[in-house]
Chains A and B, each alone.
Chain A
Amino acid sequence: MSVPQNGAAALEAVRLTKSFGGLRAASDVSFVVPHGSLTALIGPNGAGKTTIFNLVTNFFTPDSGDVRFYGTPLAGRSPGEIAALGLVRTFQAARIFPGMTALENVLAGAHLHVRAQPWKQMLWLPGARREERSLARRAEALLDLAGIGRFRDAAATELPMGAQKLLEVIRALMAQPRLVLLDEPAAGLNDNETAELAALLRAVRDSGITVMVVEHNMSLVMGVADQVIVLDAGSVVASGTPMEIQRNQRVIEAYVGQEAAA
């Protein structure tokens, strides 16, 4: 189960380093996300997990280091170009588009895959309308898969927090990514919703999409991840299977030390 479909690297970060003023948010961070895996990035608050996502997707430019996505270097590419390569991310605070319904939000995720040019959409050409309908069907299926189908026509920003997080996840899936980066998808979810999310994540992985997730919820991480990378103070302190991580002394120190200090 925990063996990736094949060992090829989907995402490879090599010695990523980034400082903000005097603060080293990431130093020499290297990791590999194998194709077909569900990799979790964990670590105490302020360990630099979100920074890693921002560096990988070029929302921040790294001071040094490389990122390769299925062998393609990502340096110098805009976030939009990176999305077009099939690497799609979500944000820690659900960045749902206000002024749109839940369905429209999910549909917005399909932006890269829309074939019909705007002028065809404006002329209501049959091809464009057919495409819209098929996208809508896919979006509805995803809404149902995430268990939030009943919010289809509701204003997205009026959804409960948990539903908004799930909405953002399926909006990213709508982009048909090869690898999806999820930033704390379980934050704000109740236990039921977390269980739904775990099922959703497994389904995504099993459908062939590689998943990398930043998460605080340990039971979720240990339940679904194939590989866990532990970050502390901007550095990788451990990586391995959930079983290995749970026994790792440095990880326990990082967490327990953090808790004792807090």
Chain B
Amino acid sequence: MEEAAQIIIGGLLQGSVFAIVALGFSLVFRVTGSINLSQGAFCILAALAAVTLEQTLGWPVALAAAGAIAITAAAGFAVGAATFVPALARLPMSSMLILTAGLLTTLEGLSLVIWGSQPYALPPFSGEAPVTLLGVRLPTQGFWIAGAAVLIIAGVWYLLMRTAVGEALRACAENPTAARLMGIDVSRMTLLSFTLAALIAGIGGIVVAPIISFQFDTGRFFTISGFSAVAIGGLGSMVGAVAGGVMLGVAEQLAAGYISSLFANGIALGLLILTLLVRPSGLFAARRTRREDVRDEHRVYHAIVRLEGRGALVFGAIAVAVLLALPWFVPDAMMSSLIITGILFIGVLGLDILMGYTGQVSLGQAGFMAIGGYTAAILATNFGWSPLLGTLAGILLSLVCAVALSLVTMRLRGHYLALATLAFGLLVDSLTVGLTDVTGGPSGLVGVPSFAIGPIEFDTPARMYYLVAALMLALVLVLLGGVRASFGRALQAVRTDQTAASALGVNVPRHKMAALAISAALASLSGSLYAFYFHFLSPEMVGTSRSLEMIAMLVLGGEGTLVGSLIGVALLTLLPTIFQPLAIYKTFAEGAFLVLAVRYLPGGIFGTLAHRLSTLRAASPPPAGAPASRGMAP
């Protein structure tokens, strides 16, 4: 009984923190229609800043906390003003989601550079001694957490409902165009909501810091929990954010207390998926989320990259020649990076079909890598299956999961799809960590054999290289065949205009499912090869950071071009190896590249280059086929 009370109180405290983060989410979503995935990073930024102020500069805890919150709010203001606000006016919502994922990574990378990767702790504000109340021991920090939560909830309510600024914020949420006509500065309100959300997150991070251990990337845990809380409660609903946060906290603590802490995440995510399935708009859905339709996909990138006829043949021939010759020219130390580039490229190819061609954002692609990697590795290592059969089994399992996932998401649009895939990735992640007996748990699965097809073993870097290169070529060729024919046109039609697509008889759900299945199969293959190449697989190799990294690679290289993403994969894989001392900047650079690419290179590096080339070519000879904007030809 006492234990149960202890657990529930722990859950309420954790839930309060989730509720705080969720409130920030809801605030930004209400005002902008966008989900801000960087939210959690501000929690940890505040906590880490407080550590520096308290321990390095010797400030008293209270002062350090206040200073850290101020720093976080200032950081929120700067990040919002430099990236989020200007981007919001130009980008479709799917790109905003990716942009904020990039911000999350950037802030984590920055924390890594400043504070390193070691864990930190902050002393409780009111001493270590717990208070005993009715036989239940309460950490004094609990009062700080609960107090902060109540204060923030009351503060946000008062601001929104009782002040002129709040009225303006709500007007932006209802209808930004009308708000603008009424003389409300929508950009300023957007910036205000973003800064407020960072401030709220900072307070949440500070009050919870003394009861957890945290490091540079703990922020994503807050992002994910806050995001899940918001989704369970209902996007845009303030009551829902609080209720969802508390429910999630209690559920996680109960799971941790009575089952295993390793499954705590899994239970929460199961709850999330269940909510999405039964009541996709959340338990306390806001009246409506019209904003999603107001600013939508008409802002997708319109430029066209096509290599036709001879150009494509020449380009292809050069690419094949370079691919075959590369091992002779690179030092042996680089071979490994090249092979990893190829393996990841296979996964990113699938993501391109899903995101670039069909317009479906997946934040959980590494979940399929994990399924493929672990299935193949476990079957080959512990059950003596041949690696090829294991890989195929992994692909099959991934396809089953993809179909199941697409049945869940079929009715969902916009943010909910990204959310469901994120939950899926995290669920797989927590299973790989939790099922220690099968997967080896956090320390990973060791002794995985080399890949083999019959008697041919791919046990040297050179062999593996040519295997991966051959697969890459074959897959690019196959997918090119598909996207250049009616199948690809249907996918693109679904991406840009589902209504017009269905009016032409395109079965929209079926094409979404096909795209997800293709991406799942390729991610699975990539995960299997990854495990066989390293002879090892651990959860963080195929975790959510990997999902975000794959998105960064795709967006940086160029969406919707198939081959373009190779540039992104190569850059983000090879740069850290070439410049070893800079490896600590990898996370930061990944995030920053993603933000910059989403914001300034809508076609990615490949798209931008190809566009430049084609305009150059069109400018030199007389423009035979170029559009003229005068009257009709006779």
Contacts and interface: CB of A to CB of B under 8 A. Distances in A.
A complexed with B: yes
A147 B500 CA distance: 23
Contacts of B632: 147-148, 162, 192-193, 196
Interface in A44-84: 57, 59, 78-80, 83-84
Which 5 pairs between the two chains have the least Cβ-Cβ distance? Answer: A121-B485, A83-B505, A95-B500, A154-B627, A118-B487
B481 A95 contact: no
- Centre residue among A83, A89, A108, A172 by max chain B CB count within 10 A: A108
Nearest to A189: B632
B534 interface: no
Interface of A: 57, 59, 78-80, 83-84, 88-89, 91, 95, 97-101, 104, 107-112, 114, 116, 118, 121-124, 128, 132, 135, 147-155, 157-160, 162, 171-172, 175, 190, 192-193, 196
11 contacts: A80-B502, A80-B506, A91-B503, A95-B500, A97-B489, A104-B489, A108-B486, A118-B482, A128-B481, A150-B633, A155-B304
Contacts, number: 140
A99 B495 contact: yes
Contact of B504 (A78, A99, A101, A108): A108
A14 B626 CA distance: 48
B440 to A, nearest CB: 36
A101 B306 contact: yes
A20 B524 CA distance: 48
Nearest to B302: A98
Interface of B: 298, 300-304, 306, 477-479, 481-482, 484-487, 489-490, 492-493, 495-497, 499-508, 514, 560, 625-629, 631-633
A168 to B, nearest CB: 9
- Centre residue among A59, A135, A160, A196 by max chain B CB count within 10 A: A160
Nearest to A79: B502
B492 A79 contact: no
A20 B496 CA distance: 28
Nearest to A114: B486
Contacts of B501: 97, 108
A108 B490 contact: yes
A128 B484 CA distance: 11
B487 to A, nearest CB: 4
A83 B627 contact: no
B492 A122 contact: no
Contact of B485 (A101, A132, A150, A152): A132
Contacts of B625: 150, 152-154
B496 A112 contact: no
A155 B627 CA distance: 9
A137 B304 CA distance: 21
B479 A122 contact: yes
B151 to A, nearest CB: 42
A80 B496 contact: no
A88 B504 CA distance: 7
B485 A98 contact: no
A111 B302 contact: no
Contacts of B629: 160
Contacts of A157: 302
